[in-house]
Every structure is written in structure tokens, then in C-alpha cells.
């Protein structure tokens, strides 16, 4: 995984996401989740394309159960876009990179 993607946790979520000045796309995932691994390359590309304009943070739901529970994550991958400390958009499941691109673009 590239250094463009931030590994978030229950402990760092507030600092990395809620207090972020840029919009943040949070990927709630797990290493055993096939669809999560399928979407990972698109997230890498998104992180590079939006560098300096938005952030991508991955939160492993097995290691960090509190944050996904707080945001009602029932299935993974779930991607939630945060802006100004608020969840403003959400996608569940594998979606095309184009859809992720549009999701972020409309909130920048």
C-alpha cells in the first residue's frame, strides 16, 4: 500500500478524519474481504489523483470495531466521505473508480 493512503484507527480517527481540513474518503475494510481487496487499487489511484485536495483513510474493521459501529457500517467495503467532520456521502460494496472520483469531486 502506498504512503498516500493513511491507516486510520479508532484512536486516530478524530485527528485524521473529523478534524481534517480536506474531504476524507474512509474505506472500512478487512484483509480477508475479497471485495475490499478488489477496490484497493482504485483507492490507490484516487489517493494519488486527489493528493492535496482530499485524503483516503483505510480503517481495518477487525482491529478497530468502535468507529465502524459509530457510523453504522454493516457490510464491507463501506466507503464514507467526510467533510468538515460530517459524513456527507456513502457507498457500500465494490464500485467503479469513476464513481469514487465523482463522489469526491462533488464535495471538493
Domain boundaries, the chain: 5-105
Is 91 a residue whose pLDDT tops 60? yes
Whether 83 is catalytic is no
Is pTM beyond 0.75? Reply is yes
Out of 33, 37, 42, 87, the active site residue is 33
23 is catalytic: no
**What CA–CA distance (Å, rounded) separates 57 from 24?**
7
b/e per residue, 66-95, with b = 16+ CB within 10 A?
Answer: ebbeeeebeebbbbbbbbeeeeeeebeeee
pLDDT digits (tens, 9 = 90+) for 3-56: 899 999 999 999 999 999 999 999 999 999 999 999 999 999 999 999 999 999
What is 5-105's CATH superfamily?
Glutaredoxin (3.40.30.10)
Confidence of residue 73 (pLDDT cuts 50, 70, 90): very high
Computed over every residue of the chain, the mean pLDDT equals 96
- From the candidates 6, 20, 36, 59, which is the catalytic residue? 36
Determine whether 12 is exposed, middle or buried from the number of CB atoms within 10 Å of its CB (0-12, 13-18, 19+): middle
Residue 1 has pLDDT above 80, yes or no: no
Amino acid at each position: 500500500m502506498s504512503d498516500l493512503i493513511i491507516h486510520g484507527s479508532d484512536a486516530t480517527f478524530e485527528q485524521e478524519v473529523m478534524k481534517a481540513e480536506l474531504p476524507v474518503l474512509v474505506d472500512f475494510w478487512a484483509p480477508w474481504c475479497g471485495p475490499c481487496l478488489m477496490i484497493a487499487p482504485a483507492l490507490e489511484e484516487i489517493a494519488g489523483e486527489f493528493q492535496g485536495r482530499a485524503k483516503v483513510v483505510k480503517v481495518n474493521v477487525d482491529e478497530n470495531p468502535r468507529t465502524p459501529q459509530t457510523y453504522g457500517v454493516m457490510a464491507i467495503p463501506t466507503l464514507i466521505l467526510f467533510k468538515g467532520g460530517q459524513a456527507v456521502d456513502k457507498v457500500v460494496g465494490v464500485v467503479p473508480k469513476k464513481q469514487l472520483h465523482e463522489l469526491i469531486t462533488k464535495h471538493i
